Structure 1
Amino acid sequence: MLNRVFLLLSTLLLSAFQLTAAPKPFVFNGQSVPAGRKLATLLHITDGRDSTVVPVTVFHGRRPGPVLGIIAGVHGYEYPPIMAAQQLSKEIDPEQLRGTVLLVHVANVPSFLGRRIQVNPQDNKNLNRVFPGKPDGTITERLAYRLGNDVIGRCTHVIDVHAGDALDDLRPYAGYYNYFDTPELSEKGCHMASVLGFPYVIQFGNEPSLKDQASVYCSREAIKRGIPAIDIECGRFGLPEPEHIAQIKQALQRLLGHLQMTESQPAVSIPPALITQRTTVNSTHTGFFFPLVKAGEFIYKGRQLGYITDLFGNHSADVLAPVNGVVLYMMATPPISKGESLFSIGHLPKAAQP
């Protein structure tokens, strides 16, 4: 009888020890990161002619938990996410962390250093249009391939952080993908996006399946791999405005709390409005664009949103709202070409309509 009691107690103690024991070292980029430590490292990418690096900080927690990938700077002119990532890297304490954070400070360093909007100046390709990339492609395609395999593929959750660049006025929001054949993945993404504290959550996809499509986008590469992923869009005109940097950082801290990787962050007091449908307004002419509204404004069908002139300044067309909704983002600089996007309008649920 005593032997059985002793055996039972030994088993319980062993189980408790295993639950509290520090996790094994996390191996990243050929380097071992012990539990409770962090590592700043560079991923090196080259195509034989051009080369670049990706600065990543690995925070390996003292206790086991999720592996969260935070990716900033896929577009190098979108500064608020990059600045927020830099600040957050000084505040995450791996001694207090559950799980592991892979923090990509700037995914597209050539775009960042070259002050280029959307594209990598080395091959003029948009990193957020070439996933999953290619191991033997151009420098941007190889960059996407490394991000997909060395970062995204190592994660249990992913967040890709963006902002409006030099052309765009933008209303901050979060987003997630919804595909009908992966409802659990969509639900996890919805919960992740809803805790960030943004007034709107945009539902992307809304299609039967992603199986027969290329991933194309960074966060959708995670979805393609069966990993819950969300997006942030916060910031305008590429400006590193402190309020947007702080808003992004707080959202990332809320996500860490939601995943129980850190102590819980304050709950969102007002649930976000879910936007499941958007309408894009494209330019019908080439010339100068003059907006009459700003991002975040509520608009009604038929309202004049702006007008276009030709290169001589002669009036070409008025731009009218085709639907009721809220302006999520918009072109806010004068040059415009036929077919370019002017506005993205979110269709608001009745409860969120003014």
Structure 2
Amino acid sequence: MAGSVEHFTVEVGTIDLKTTIPISVIHGIKNGPVLGITAGVHGYEYAPILAGQKLLKEIKPSQLVGTIILVQIANTGSFLGRTPFINPLDGKNLNRSFPGQEDGSITEQIANYISKKVIARSDYFVDMHSGDAPEDLFPYAAYYQNDNKEEISDKGKKMAVSMGFEHVVVFKTTGKDYMRKEFPSLYCSAEAFKQGKAAVDIECGRLGIVEEASIKKIILAVQQLLKSLKMTEGTFSLNEQIKVINERSFISSNYTGIFYPKVHSGQHVEKGSSLGYITNFFGEKIDDIYADKSGVVLLILGTPPVKKGETLCVIGDLDLKE
């Protein structure tokens, strides 16, 4: 109904194992585009979830053009279980499960519902994340880009830039397997992009903790986006200091042990500089970690445990700007 807010609790699962997805739909007073938003795809990433709660009060249906479909907590199993990355109900990562399966595991069913009932009904799509329990993360917006999808790539860029973050990361998908029809999209917003929707991510918040500054930044980003899409009135202010990151470097651990970081997210590092070191469980150093390129630390492991093959650090290459 125009000018209203409706709440739905969607149940998925089997007779023996069920979960719910809380979804709010904000209907504007006038017809217009549909913006799909997901929070809590990783249930330990609290800042987007709490921002979604507050957005319900901030967005007035009487001042909205179009419709917002807000998935309040996509992964309630992870949220209630306080479990980073995976859904403890089946041990799967929801953000590696798209487009899902109607008769699959409980996480695959969640992905299937969001793919068919939220993303498919959206004209634009935002997936909101933050740094999970071990992740010291620097806030940024990101958009999907593909050489064969110029129109929606450009729309996604405008969406990401409008949000006001200092850094915008480009998720380049040209030639990626998950963009091919015969391969699964894996990621929530990648599924939206694959369906032909302009898709962006918000990454804001760190270490699975609740910080009011991160919540406010996410709320402001969504409000700016709504203005840029002309779903609400007003002008949005562009960040004149914006830096576009076209390439990222992922540094993984060669060992299982204890990680001691020497830098923090948002810090600029030079190629070859020390990022930290790893010891074994007896405190003996077994590896030094160095930056493989110069740039800004978008993410670094912020807690001691580390497993072989795990990502230790992500560096955004500021030398490759648009």
Q: Which category of TM-score, normalised to the shorter sequence, fits these structures?
A: over 0.9
| Alignment partner, residue 22 of structure 2 | 55
| Matching residue of 2:252 | 282
Per-residue deviation at 1:95?
1.4
Q: Is the 8 A contact 2:244 2:321 kept in 1?
A: no
Q: Does 1:154 align with 2:121?
A: yes
Residue 111 (structure 1) aligns with = 78
Picking from 305, 311, 334, the partner of 2:275 is 305
Partner Cα distance (1:285, 1:326) in 2: 24
Q: Is the contact made by 2:258 and 2:306 (CA closer than 8 Å) also made in structure 1?
A: yes
Please give the secondary structure, in 1, of the residue aligned with 2:36.
strand
What's the counterpart of residue 299 of structure 2? 329
Cα gap change, 1:256/1:49 in structure 2, threshold over 3 Å: closer, same or farther?
A: same
Asked if 1:43 corresponds to 2:10, the answer is yes
Q: Distance in 1 between matches of 2:185 and 2:175?
A: 15
3-state SS of the aligned residue for 1:125?
Answer: coil
Contact 2:42 2:84 in 1 (8 A): yes
| Number of positions where the alignment pairs a residue of Structure 1 with one of Structure 2 | 319
Aligned-residue offset at 1:216: 0.5
Q: Does residue 68 of structure 1 match 2:68?
A: no
Work out the CA distance in 2 between the residues paired with 1:115 and 1:139. 17
Separation in 1, partners of 2:107, 2:190: 17
Quick one: which amino acid aligns to residue 93 of structure 2? N
Cα offset, 1:269, TM superposition: 3.6
CA distance in 2, matches of 1:147, 1:86: 19
Q: Give the match's secondary structure for 1:45.
A: strand
Match in the other structure for 1:262: 232
Alignment partners' CA distance in 1, 2:194 and 2:320: 32
Q: Which of 148, 167, 180 lines up with 1:200 in the alignment?
A: 167
Counterpart secondary structure, 2:258: strand
Letter in 1 for 2:10: L
Selected match of 1:123 from 90, 102, 106: 90
Distance of 1:174 and 1:153 partners within structure 2: 22
Letter in 2 for 1:263: E
Structure 2 equivalent of residue 87 of structure 1: 54
Structure 2: gaps spanning 5 or more residues? none
Mapped to 2, the partners of 1:55 and 1:153 lie a distance apart of 18
1:118–1:265 distance in 2 versus 1, CA, 3 Å: farther
Sequence identity of aligned pairs in percent?
Answer: 46
Gaps of 5+ in 1: 1-33
Q: Could you tell me whether the CA contact under 8 Å between 1:254 and 1:264 is conserved in 2?
A: no
Q: Give the counterpart letter for 1:144 in structure 2.
A: A
SS class of match (2:223): helix
Tell me the amino acid that sits aligned with residue 154 of structure 2.
E
Bigger Rg over Cα: 1
Q: Partner of 1:120: helix, strand, or coil?
A: coil
Q: Distance in 1 between matches of 2:136 and 2:166?
A: 16
Contact 1:305 1:320 in 2 (8 A): yes
- Output the TM-score relative to the length of structure 2: 0.96
Determine helix, strand or coil for the equivalent of 2:58. Answer: coil
| Alignment of 1:226 onto 2:196 | yes
* Partner of residue 165 from structure 1, selected from 113, 116, 132: 132
Specify the code of the residue in structure 2 equivalent to 1:139.
I
Q: Which has the higher contact order (CA 8 A, sep 6+)?
A: 2
Q: Aligned residue for 2:313?
A: 343
Task: Let me know the Cα RMSD of the aligned residues.
Answer: 1.3
Q: What code does the residue aligned with 2:263 have?
A: V
